[in-house]
Amino acid sequence: MWRLDLLEVKFHNCPARFPHTKKLLNARNNEKLLKRLPTSVKDADNEILALKKEYFDKKYYGSYKKLEKEINKVVKTEISKLKQDKTKNQSTINFLESGENVKLLITSKLVKSLTTSILINKDLKLNPPNYISEDVREIILDKSNIANPSKFFIQFCQNDKNLNNYFSNLWNNKSIKSIISEIEWSFKIVRGNLTTQEKDARRKATGREISDDEKEASIGDSEVSEDDDDEDHHEQEEEDMEELDTEGVYEKFAIYDKLVGDSDNEDEEQAPDLDPSINYNEVTDEEPSDESEEDEELDSDSSSDDGFFEQDESSKKSTKKEKKDYNLPQLASGYFSGGSDDEGEDVDNDKVVKDITTQRKNRRGQRARQKIWAQKYGREAKHVKSEIEKAASDRERRRLEYEERCRKREEKNNLAPTGSNTAPLGDRKVRNGVSPAPGPPSDTTKMHPSWEAKKLAEEKLKNVKFQGKKITFD
């Protein structure tokens, strides 16, 4: 993909797909790079068309396979739910059980994504670019083709509301939605002329830089050459291995494998198959270096029949070897690593310290994490739910406080003095010449004698005439 970007930037002055493209073209020592590029515009256009056609075919085929795999996975899990209500979902079940219909669904969605990412104006829709394959161009231009998005909608969705709703929910599935966004971005990369709005939207949606896509593209371009090199290397190795009779060599020396092993590997390695015809006590007691030295001594001292001194020499050598093997530093002066004196200065960079201690990770702030959760879960986020519950409890608390204040205010108003005579009214006095209204008969039998006497005295006082003198003041 980097070569396509270089050609379009150099010969057509198009915006670079990747940030390193302009750096390569504007570098001082780029003569080797320019030699690998075509010199004429015509040759460059032909190479650009060929590269775009190659990349588009790969992207379209890979996108089809990814989308087909994910849709089959989702449909497999949901078809059992649809079969629970066959009367309502019979048309949807019939559509999903047909493999041809599912292929038409995937093709129409890819053509729709292709239209939104590459055919961005009316002229391109009427005349699609030449790097688009012929079968896809035919689907785009032929409105009567059943794989065309408009024809597919009229054929399957216009008169079937349940199927239309199912397709809407399918394209809004989280995993499928992410795959479709990746497909549209891959088509835009092949198209080129990326705007700043498209790059910013991509960076905001995925959190990735465009340089990551450049690395992926360079890896994809280098895979072919690496595969060729690996094939040549394997062929050369096979030719070399054919020259050697490895099986015969292995059978000859297999019985001696792992007979003398290092002390670090003795517990880990398994014991080899033993040959009963060999006395391994004689073999394993001696080191290979000792065997060669003893052979030389035997050749030089072959005239002597007595082997007493040779045994002494071999025992001395074996004791020296044992002393050399077991002269460990920790037995003499404590364990030391044997490294340089500067190792103790930088303890934090020690591998053992890093394995034991836990490194502190940089973490986002609380508000940043809450913002991410709000975008991811919406109203189902825990902090959003807690805020809603807190606001509701505050409203309820304020309502109760208001009602309590109103009740106390009303009681206070009822107990406050109003200035009016609230004393109870007494009995009316009987006027002269007016007989009192007949009232209910009083029950005198129940009245106390003292009260009866007082009542009689009051009645007598009421009937007494005024006998005083009228006094006039000057």
Domain ranges in the chain are 38-208, 366-409
Q: Which of 173-177, 245-249, 252-256, 341-345 has the highest mean pLDDT?
A: 173-177
Segment (H or E) for 388: helix 382-415
| Region 156-163 average pLDDT | 84
Q: Which of 67-71, 204-208, 248-252, 263-267 has the highest mean pLDDT?
A: 67-71
| Region 57-80 average pLDDT | 87
Distance CA 38, CA 426 (A): 126
The share of the chain scoring above pLDDT 90, in percent, equals 9
pLDDT at position 368 is: 92
pLDDT at position 246 is: 43
Distance CA 295, CA 282 (A): 15
Closest CA relative to residue 53, chosen from 120, 123, 137 = 137
pLDDT at position 414 is: 85
Distances (CA, A) of 311 to 288, 318, 448: 17, 10, 150
pLDDT at position 222 is: 47
Contacts of 130 (CB under 8 A, 6+ apart): 49, 53
Q: Which residue has the higher pLDDT, 344 or 198?
A: 198
pLDDT of 468 higher than 50: yes
pLDDT of 221 higher than 50: no
pLDDT in tens, 78-98: 887 777 777 777 888 888 888
pLDDT at position 13 is: 78
pLDDT at position 394 is: 95
| Region 102-128 average pLDDT | 87
Closest CA relative to residue 140, chosen from 126, 157, 160, 161 = 126
pLDDT in tens, 279-333: 655 555 444 544 444 455 445 444 444 444 444 555 555 555 555 555 555 555 5
The share of the chain scoring above pLDDT 70, in percent, equals 62
Contacts of 354 (CB under 8 A, 6+ apart): 348
Lowest mean pLDDT among 26-40, 60-74, 178-192, 309-323: 309-323
Lowest mean pLDDT among 143-147, 250-254, 449-453: 250-254
Helix axes 308-326, 288-300, angle to 10 degrees: 160
Closest CA relative to residue 185, chosen from 172, 200, 173, 168 = 200
Residue 262 pLDDT grade (very low, low, confident, very high; cuts 50, 70, 90)? very low
On average, the pLDDT of the chain sits at: 73
Contacts of 47 (CB under 8 A, 6+ apart): 7, 38
Q: Which of 222-226, 312-316, 392-396, 443-447 has the highest mean pLDDT?
A: 392-396
pLDDT of 223 higher than 60: no
pLDDT at position 391 is: 95
pLDDT of 172 higher than 70: yes
Residue 43 pLDDT grade (very low, low, confident, very high; cuts 50, 70, 90)? confident
| DSSP letter (8 states) at residue 155 | I
pLDDT of 104 higher than 80: yes
